C-alpha cells in the first residue's frame, strides 16, 4: 500500500484539526487584506481575522455562492494580483457569462499534488500510461488531470474528447494502463470497442479515474466488466479547483477529500445549519484552505451527499464523501458538462422565432446522455417550406451549442402543446436512472 503524501493523508484527527485551524486563520487574514469582496463580506458579517482561531470557528464565516462569482465577473473574486496568475479556466455561465477561476503557480502545483494523491490511492504509479479524455481547454478536467498524471511521473496521452476510434487505437497499440474520462464515456468506449471486435484481453487497462458526472455502482460494475479495469470515482468542481478534490481509494467506499487543502462541511440546504460528519445527508460546502489565486470560503456546491470521518481500511484518515445523490438546485450534468435550464431559456428568449415556453427531456441512450429541447415556433414563423422550418431548428441548435457546449436535439412542437406557467423544475424531465 503506497501513499503520495502519507503525512497528510494519514494524519491523526487532532493533528489535522490543528493544521486546518492554523490554515483557516491564515486564509481569512489573507483574503481580508487581498480581496475587496471578502473584506466587505467579512465586515458585513462582523467577523475579523482574529475571530478565527480554530477550525470550529468556520461557522462564524459567511457562505460564498455561485451568484457571488457571477456578480464579480470576471476578476472580482481574485485575491492574488494578475501578475501572480498563471492560468484561467472557465465554465459556462447560467446567463451567458462564464464563471472564471484563476490559478497561481502554487495553486497549479497544489492541484497536481492532489491529483497525484488520487492516482496513487487508485494504485497508479510512474509506470502507468494514461489517456486523458476529459475536454482540454477551458474545462478544468483535461488540463487538470494532465498535470496531475505528469506530476505522478506517469505518462499522459492528451486525448481530449471525441475521436473515439483513435482513442481505442491508442489504448490498444500503446498498451495504455490508465484512463481518465466521464463514466458514461467509458461505457461508450467499451461498446465501441466491442463493435470494432476488440476483446478486453487485447487491452491492458487496469485503472480508470472517472468523474465529472454522477454515476452508480451498476455503472461501475459494467465498466469494470467491459474494460477489465478497476473503476474509481474522482470528484471535483472548477470553482474549487477541478478534478481531484476527492477520490476513491482501493476500498471503493467513499471518496477521500484532501482536507488539509480543501475543508468540507455538510449543511442543511434550507437552514444552512452545519450537520455532523456521521453520514447525515446535506449540501456539501468547501473552503479552500491553501489557495492563493481565487480562494473561496464556505462555497456552496449544491451537491447533496454526506461525510464520514472514520478512518478508512486503506489507512487514510482523510474524511470521505459519499456519492453525490442529487442537487439542491436545478443544475443538470449532461455528458460531464454543467447545464442550467436557465441557460437554455435565455437562448430561446434571445431568438424571435420561438415562444418562451420550453421543455427539456434528458435521457441516457447507449450510455450517452442526450438532451432534447422541445419548443414552439411563434405563429408568424410557421412556414409551408420544410427548408425554412429546418433552418429555424438549426438556428436554435447552433446557438445552444455555443452557449452550453452541448449539442441538443431540437424538437419543434405544435402551438400550445407545451404547458404554460409551470415552475422551472417542471420544465425538466430527467429520464436517467442513476439510483
Partner 1 sequence: MIIKQVSVFLENRSGRINEVTKILGANGINMIAFSMAENPDFGILRMIVSDNDKAVEALRAGKFAVSVNDVISLSIPNMPGALSKVMEILAAKGIFIEYMYAFAKGDTGNSAEIVIRPTYVDRCQVVLTENGF
Residues that bind partner 1 (CB under 8 A): 377, 379, 382-387, 389-390, 411-417
Q: Least distance in Å: CB of 335 to partner 1? A: 22
Whose CA is closest to 25, among 46, 56, 64? 56
Judged by DSSP in three states, 219 sits in helix
Q: Least distance in Å: CB of 374 to partner 1? A: 10
* 8 Å CB contact between 63 and 285: yes
Q: Which residue has the cell 441516457?
A: 364
- Which is nearer to partner 1, 150 or 397 (by Cβ)? 397
- Which is nearer to partner 1, 387 or 423 (by Cβ)? 387
Q: Least distance in Å: CB of 377 to partner 1? A: 7
Q: 178 in the Ramachandran plot: left (φ > 0), alpha (ψ -120 to 50) or beta? A: beta
Q: Which residues have a Cβ under 8 Å from the Cβ of 252 and sit 6 or more positions away? A: 220, 230, 232
Q: Least distance in Å: CB of 427 to partner 1? A: 18
Q: Least distance in Å: CB of 411 to partner 1? A: 6
- The number of beta carbons lying within 10 Å of the beta carbon of residue 352 is 8
Q: What is the DSSP string of 53-87?
A: -SGGGGGGSPPB-HHHHHHTTTTTT--S-GGGEEE
Q: Which residue has the cell 450510455?
A: 367
- Which is nearer to partner 1, 201 or 421 (by Cβ)? 421
H or E element: which one contains 377? strand 368-377
- Which is nearer to partner 1, 199 or 385 (by Cβ)? 385
Q: Which residues have a Cβ under 8 Å from the Cβ of 180 and sit 6 or more positions away? A: 130, 131, 132, 133, 134, 145, 149, 208, 209, 210, 234, 243
Q: Least distance in Å: CB of 392 to partner 1? A: 11
Q: Which residue has the cell 447525515?
A: 280
Q: Least distance in Å: CB of 371 to partner 1? A: 15
Whose CA is closest to 245, among 370, 405, 87, 110? 110
- Which is nearer to partner 1, 409 or 424 (by Cβ)? 409
Q: Least distance in Å: CB of 345 to partner 1? A: 21
Q: Least distance in Å: CB of 358 to partner 1? A: 15
- Which is nearer to partner 1, 67 or 417 (by Cβ)? 417
* 8 Å CB contact between 78 and 97: no
- The number of beta carbons lying within 10 Å of the beta carbon of residue 342 is 14
- Which is nearer to partner 1, 371 or 377 (by Cβ)? 377
- Which is nearer to partner 1, 36 or 415 (by Cβ)? 415
Q: Least distance in Å: CB of 327 to partner 1? A: 30
Q: What stretches of 72-131 show up as alpha helix (H) in DSSP?
A: 105-121
- Which is nearer to partner 1, 187 or 377 (by Cβ)? 377
Alpha carbon distance, N-terminus to C-terminus of the chain: 32
- Which is nearer to partner 1, 9 or 353 (by Cβ)? 353
User: Strand pairing of 230-237 and 242-248?
Assistant: antiparallel
Burial 158-195 (b: 16+ CB within 10 A, else e): ebbbeebeebbebbbeeebbbbbbbbbbbbbbbebbee
Amino acid at each position: 500500500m503506497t501513499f503520495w503524501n502519507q503525512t497528510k493523508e494519514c494524519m491523526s484527527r487532532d493533528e489535522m484539526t490543528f493544521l486546518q485551524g492554523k490554515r483557516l486563520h491564515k486564509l481569512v487574514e489573507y483574503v481580508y487584506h487581498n480581496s475587496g469582496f471578502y473584506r466587505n463580506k467579512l465586515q458585513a458579517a462582523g467577523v475579523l481575522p482574529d475571530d478565527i482561531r480554530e477550525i470550529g470557528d468556520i461557522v462564524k464565516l459567511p457562505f460564498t455562492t455561485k451568484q457571488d462569482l457571477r456578480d464579480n465577473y470576471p476578476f472580482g473574486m481574485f485575491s492574488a494580483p494578475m501578475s501572480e496568475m498563471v492560468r484561467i479556466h472557465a465554465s459556462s455561465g447560467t446567463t451567458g457569462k462564464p464563471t472564471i477561476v484563476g490559478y497561481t503557480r502554487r495553486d497549479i502545483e497544489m492541484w497536481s499534488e492532489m491529483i497525484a494523491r488520487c492516482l496513487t490511492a487508485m494504485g497508479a504509479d510512474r509506470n502507468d500510461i494514461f489517456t486523458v479524455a476529459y475536454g482540454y481547454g477551458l474545462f478544468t478536467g483535461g488540463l487538470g488531470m494532465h498535470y496531475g498524471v505528469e506530476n505522478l511521473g506517469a505518462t499522459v496521452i492528451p486525448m481530449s474528447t471525441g475521436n473515439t476510434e483513435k482513442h481505442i487505437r491508442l489504448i490498444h497499440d500503446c498498451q495504455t494502463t490508465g484512463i481518465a474520462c466521464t463514466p458514461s464515456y467509458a461505457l461508450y468506449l467499451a461498446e465501441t470497442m466491442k463493435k470494432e471486435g476488440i476483446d478486453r484481453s487485447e487491452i491492458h487497462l487496469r485503472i480508470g479515474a472517472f468523474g465529472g458526472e454522477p454515476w452508480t455502482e451498476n455503472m461501475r460494475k459494467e465498466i469494470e466488466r467491459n474494460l477489465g479495469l478497476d473503476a474509481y470515482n474522482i470528484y471535483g468542481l472548477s470553482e474549487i479547483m477541478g478534478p481531484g478534490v476527492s477520490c476513491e481509494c482501493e476500498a471503493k467506499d467513499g471518496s477521500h477529500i484532501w482536507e488539509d487543502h480543501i475543508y468540507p462541511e455538510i449543511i442543511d440546504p434550507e437552514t444552512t445549519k452545519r450537520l455532523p460528519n456521521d453520514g447525515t445527508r446535506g449540501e456539501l460546502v468547501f473552503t479552500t484552505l491553501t489557495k492563493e489565486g481565487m480562494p473561496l470560503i464556505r462555497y456552496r456546491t449544491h451537491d447533496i451527499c454526506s461525510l464520514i470521518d472514520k478512518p478508512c481500511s486503506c489507512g487514510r484518515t482523510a474524511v470521505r464523501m459519499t456519492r453525490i445523490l442529487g442537487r439542491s438546485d436545478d443544475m443538470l450534468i449532461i455528458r460531464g458538462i454543467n447545464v442550467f435550464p436557465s441557460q437554455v431559456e435565455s437562448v430561446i428568449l434571445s431568438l424571435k422565432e420561438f415562444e418562451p415556453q420550453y421543455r427539456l427531456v434528458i435521457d441516457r441512450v447507449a450510455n450517452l446522455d442526450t438532451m432534447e429541447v422541445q419548443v414552439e415556433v411563434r405563429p408568424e414563423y410557421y412556414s409551408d417550406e420544410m427548408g425554412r422550418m429546418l433552418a429555424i431548428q438549426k438556428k436554435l441548435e447552433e446557438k445552444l451549442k455555443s452557449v452550453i457546449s452541448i449539442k441538443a436535439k431540437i424538437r419543434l412542437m405544435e402551438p400550445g402543446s407545451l404547458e404554460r406557467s409551470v415552475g422551472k423544475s417542471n420544465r425538466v424531465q430527467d429520464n436517467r436512472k442513476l439510483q
